[in-house]
Amino acid sequence: MKIIMLGAPGAGKGTQAKMIAEKYGVPHISTGDIFRANIKNGTELGAKAKEYMDKGLLVPDELVVDLVIDRFKEPDCKNGYVLDGFPRTIPQAEALDKALSAIGETIDYAINVEVPDENIVKRMSGRRACVGCGATYHIVYNPTKEDGKCDTCGAELILRDDDKPETVLNRLKVYHEQTQPLINYYEAKGVMKEVDGTVDMKDVFAAIVEILGE
């Protein structure tokens, strides 16, 4: 079962990817984790990726695909995997398909967690982070007992720059320009499935399980 998770930043696709991985006994793979593991282990691919990252440059698509395909060779991927945060662009998707085709494999499902932009802005701008211990809260969905104070350590809560409405809107703009076309790409391949990400996360997961089967 080879799955790609799609969805705007803040749509909750990472949470769903973890739940899928747990239920179906397949690894949850994010490119960030792959980069960190390869750099930490001093692999040749990791050293190449680090060169770009140290210069603040994006790692080229070919190298990212090489790292991802290399990860698929690990024993825990024998029953499949959930890819989260990759591919992000059409060239990455095409490169991934080409590399998978070379080893006789294809993606089974691309699942899009659909959430309107205004919901995402509301969700993310309601997040608060503790300056002391790093705990995160939400003014609507997960409020603290005392306004503006962390339940765990009592330190002040802040709205991170990443979660400010203008930053969120900018990230959504980039997403729609680069990643949204992937939905059409995977629709054309007949593997695209969509779930409503505005409902409770347990209900989102139930909809995904319905698609994948028990």
> How far apart (Å, rounded) are the C-alpha atoms in residues 148 and 145?
9
88 is catalytic: yes
Q: How far apart are CA 22 and CA 1, in angstroms?
A: 13
Catalytic residue from among 2, 88, 123, 128 = 88
- Output the CA–CA distances (angstroms, integers) from residue 123 to 1, 12, 110, in the order listed: 31, 10, 24
- 2, 13, 71, 128: the catalytic one is 13
123 in catalytic set: no
| C-alpha–C-alpha distance, residues 191 and 6, integer Å | 12
Q: Is 77 exposed, middle or buried (0-12, 13-18, 19+ CB in 10 A)?
A: middle
Chain position carrying tokens 């698609």: 211
Select which of 18, 122, 164, 171 is catalytic. Answer: 171
Catalytic residue among 23, 160, 173, 189: 160
**177 token code pair:** 């320009």
Q: Which residues contact 121 (CB under 8 A, 6 or more apart)?
A: 165, 168, 169, 172
Catalytic residue among 2, 123, 127, 128: 127
Contact present, 151 and 144 (Cβ < 8 Å): yes
Residue in 139, 79, 131, 136 with CA at minimum distance from that of residue 105: 79
192 residue type, one letter: M
Known catalytic residue: 40?
A: no
Active site residues: 13, 88, 127, 160, 171
